[in-house]
Amino acid sequence: MSDPKIEGYDFKPGFRGLAQDAGSDQTMFKGVHWGKAMMWIFLLSDTFIFSCFLISYMKGRGSTPAEWPNPSEVFALHVGGVSVPLLLIAIMTFVLITSSGTMALAVKYGYERNRKMCGWLILATALGGLTFVGMQAFEWSKLIHEGVRPWTNPFGAPQFGSFFFMITGFHGTHVSIGVIFLSIYAYKTFAGHYDTGKRGWFTTIKGDYVEIEILGLYWHFVDLVWVFIFAFFYLW
Amino acid sequence: MEETKKEQTTTHKIGIYLWIWGILFVLSFCSYMVDWFQFQGLLRWSLILTFMFLKAGLIMAFFMHLFWERYALVNVLLWPMTAIACFVFLMVAEFKYTLFSRLFYFFIGG
């Protein structure tokens, strides 16, 4: 999505281009907005944090001699007297993917300077995120009600609770922060800050639709992390 | 450094996003089915990992636009992942050893 057009600079593709960009005695990420590069660096560090959580979960689960609770039973939902395994988690996954899709479209419409469409799609994304956090709150309260604590639980290995609350809690915090920012950016989009180039609150830099893409990167990352949590914590 | 160009950035056709969206739904459905049919053992975790990496790859490549970015950015982002892979490898060795010691000293009685 970079816009590789710089006067007097000949862009080469692939690894040749990588060597040329890195050794050009100029900015390395050519045509990439600095905010976008910074967001990527932040997401990289966040990747390491979540990896540490998931790796410690792997180590905790792998090294306990006690039976690990069966997630497919622990997270089952009773619908009309029938126990459906992982139902809530599956719905949460689909909600988050849907919100990721609307975000991707919001970025596209933003760059096409379609203000209304972009704003509505960001709002839809925020609603999806809110739904996700709501369902997570429901899941947490259900498990707490059943007696799951960070130090004990009625299903098996006591480590289960601490990993569950830590990992899903940290992810839920990311989603909540994302929802707050999505709401702010939805307002800014509708108010036309990115069309008129109005500057933000703590900066002299003028508003531009690239900010929507930066926000989108964060939101897709939240979805990305959920893909891993879903696979390792709920399915494994 | 502020970008001075304000011309419209080239965007991609809506079809590609809808396609990726659809594939992500199908892949999520498939990984849910892994649990639904209660596949176990090698089949279970190979399927889970396959669907997981496919989903992650699609999100990063198309939703996060890495497919269209220059290699300078892509490589800075992806190479550090090898450090995570190393860490996973180390900790797998570690948890096996811990499990062994626990079983040996707590249950068998060293």
**CB distance B110 to B104 below 8 Å:** yes
**What's the pLDDT score for residue A9?**
79
Count how many domains chain A has.
1
In the predicted structure, residue B3 carries a pLDDT above the cut 60: no
A84 touches chain B (CB under 8 A): no
How many Cβ contacts (< 8 angstroms) between chains A and B? 177
Highest mean pLDDT: which of A197-206, B4-13, B76-85? B76-85
Q: Identify whether B95 is part of a domain.
A: yes
Task: Report CB contact under 8 Å: A63, B99.
Answer: yes
- Note down the domain range covering B98: 80-110
Query: Is it the case that residue A209 has pLDDT exceeding 80?
Result: yes
What is the number of other CB atoms lying within 10 angstroms of the CB of residue A173? Answer: 11
Query: Exposure of B110 by Cβ count < 10 A (0-12 exposed, 13-18 middle, 19+ buried)?
Result: exposed
Q: Is residue A149 part of a domain?
A: yes
Q: What is the pLDDT of residue B5?
A: 46
Whether residue B1 and residue A34 make contact (CB cut-off 8 A), yes or no, is yes
Closest CB to A17 among B71, B77, B87: B71
Instruction: Verify whether the Cβ–Cβ distance A100 to B24 is below 8 Å.
Output: yes
B88 and B109 fall within a common domain: yes
Residue B75 in domain: no
> What is chain B's mean pLDDT, rounded?
88
Q: Give the pLDDT band (50/70/90) at residue B102.
A: very high
Question: Does the pLDDT of residue B6 top 50, yes or no?
Answer: no
- Residues B57 and B90 placed together within one structural domain of the fold: no
Q: What is the mean pLDDT of residues A35-49?
A: 95
- Identify whether residues B57 and B20 lie together within a single domain: yes
Whether A69 is covered by a domain: the verdict is: yes
The answer on pLDDT for A226 being more than 50 is: yes
pLDDT at A39 over 60: yes
Whether residue A21 lies inside any domain: the answer is no
Q: Do A48 and B106 touch (CB under 8 A)?
A: no
B5 lies in some domain: no
Of A3, A60, A72, the CB nearest to B9: A3
Mean pLDDT of A158-184: 95
A40 contact residues in B (CB cutoff 8 A): 73, 76-77
The arithmetic mean of pLDDT across residues A90-95, rounded, is 94
For residue range B40-67, list pLDDT tens digits in order.
889 998 999 999 999 999 999 999 999 9
Same domain, B98 and B60: no
Residue B102 lies in a domain: yes
Which domain covers residue A98, as residue numbers?
34-235
Cα B39 to Cα A58, A81, B24, B31: the distances in Å are: 20, 24, 21, 11
| A129 inside domain | yes
Q: Are residues B15 and B65 in the same domain?
A: yes
pLDDT mean over A185-203: 88
Q: Is residue B51 part of a domain?
A: yes
Task: Clarify whether residues B52 and B84 are in a common domain.
Answer: no
Share of chain B above pLDDT 90, in %: 65
Q: What is the pLDDT of residue B2?
A: 44
The predicted structure's pLDDT at residue A4? 57
- Report pLDDT for A62: 93
CA dist B77 and B98 (Å) reads 33
Cβ contact (<8 Å) for B95 and A62?
yes
Least confident of A65-74, A95-104, A165-174: A65-74
> How near does any CA of chain A get to the CA of B86, in Å?
11
What is the ipTM metric for this complex? Answer: 0.89
Looking at the domain assignment, is residue A196 inside a domain? yes
pLDDT of residue B13: 86
CATH number where A61 lies: 1.20.120.80
pLDDT in tens, A103-112: 999 999 999 9
**Number of structural domains, chain B?**
2
Does A155 score more than 60 pLDDT?
yes
> Does B22 map to a domain?
yes
Angle, helix A210-229 to helix B41-58, in steps of 10 degrees: 180
Cβ burial of B72 (10 Å; 0-12, 13-18, 19+) is: buried
- Quick one: pLDDT band at residue A175, thresholds 50, 70, 90? very high
Same domain for B16 and B40, yes or no, is yes
In a domain, B6, yes or no: no
Average pLDDT, chain A: 91
